[in-house]
Structure 1
Amino acid sequence: MDTIAEQILQLELKLLQSDLKAHPELIDELLAENFEEIDSDGEIRTRGDVIGWLLHKDLHIQWVFKEFRVKALTGNLVLAIYSLHKPDQLSAHYKGSIRTSIWQCQRNQWKMVFHQASRKS
Structure 2
Amino acid sequence: MHNIEKSADTQIERFTQREETLLHTDFSQSPTLLDGFLHPELFEISPIGSYTSRSEIVNWLLVKSPTQRWHLSQFKVVELAADTMLVCYQANSISDGVVKATGSLRSSIWRFHDQQWRLQFHQATKN
TM-score by length of 2: 0.87
* Letter in structure 1 aligned against 2:53: T
Q: Secondary structure, in 3 states, of the residue corresponding to 1:58?
A: coil
Please name the residue that 1:107 is paired with.
114
Q: Secondary structure, in 3 states, of the residue corresponding to 1:87?
A: strand
Please name the residue that 2:24 is paired with.
17
Q: Which runs of 5+ in 2 are unaligned?
A: 1-7
Q: Secondary structure, in 3 states, of the residue corresponding to 1:21?
A: helix
Q: Superposed, which structure 2 residues align to 1:25-104 within 5 Å?
A: 25-88=32-95, 90-91=99-100, 94-104=101-111
- Cα RMSD (Å): 1.3
Shift of 1:60: 0.7
* Letter in structure 2 aligned against 1:47: R
Shift of 1:33: 0.5
Shift of 1:90: 3.2
TM-score by length of 1: 0.91
Q: Distance in 1 between matches of 2:33 and 2:92?
A: 23
Task: Number of aligned residue pairs: give it.
Answer: 118
Q: Hey, which bits of structure 1, 4+ residues long, moved more than 3 A? A: none
Report percent identity of matched pairs.
32
Q: Distance in 2 between matches of 1:85 and 1:26?
A: 25
Q: Distance in 1 between matches of 2:50 and 2:42?
A: 14
